[in-house]
Amino acid sequence: MTAASTKRTSLAVVLAAGESTRMKSSRSKVLHPVANRPMIAHVVDTLAGAGISEVALVLGRDAEKVAAAAAHPSVESSVHIQTERLGTAHAVLAAREAIAKGHDDLIVVFGDTPLITAATLEAARAQLADGADVVVIGFRTADPTGYGRLIIEGEELLAIREHKDASEAERAITYCNGGLMALNGYKALDLIARIGNANAKGEYYLTDIVEVARAAGGRAVAVEAAEAELTGCNNRAELAFIEKLWQERRRREMMVDGGVSMIAPETVFLSWDTEIAGDVTIEPNVVFGPGVRIESGAVIHAFSHIEGARVAAGAQIGPYARLRPGASVGEGARVGNFCEVKKAEIGPGAKVNHLTYIGDAFIGARTNIGAGTITCNYDGINKHVTQIGADAFIGSNTSLVAPVSVGEGAYVASGSVITADVPDDAVAFGRARQENKEGRAAVIRERNRALKDARGKSGA
d(CA 320, CA 390): 26
Tell which residue, 290, 281, 291, has the closest CA to residue 317. Answer: 281
Q: What residues contact 69, with CB distance under 8 A and at least 6 apart?
A: 30, 31, 38, 40, 41
Pairing of strands 134-140, 220-224: parallel
Question: For the purposes of burial, counting CB atoms within 10 Å of the CB of 110, is it exposed (0-12), middle (13-18) or buried (19 or more)?
Answer: buried
Say how many residues make up the chain: 460
Largest CA distance in the chain: 107
- Residue tagged active-site, from 80, 90, 163, 354: 354
Of the candidates 374, 373, 375, the residue with the CA atom closest to the CA atom of residue 384? 375
Output phi, psi for 44, to 5 deg: -65, -35
Please say if 354 is a catalytic residue.
yes
Question: Rounded to whole angstroms, what are the CA distances from 385 to 306, 339, 382, 403, 423?
Answer: 22, 18, 10, 5, 17
Residue 155, burial from CB neighbour count under 10 angstroms (0-12, 13-18, 19+): exposed
Q: How many helices (H) and strands (E) does the chain have?
A: 11, 36
Long-range CB contacts (within 8 A, 24+) of 406-409: 408/364
The type of residue at 22 is R
- Catalytic residues, which ones? 354
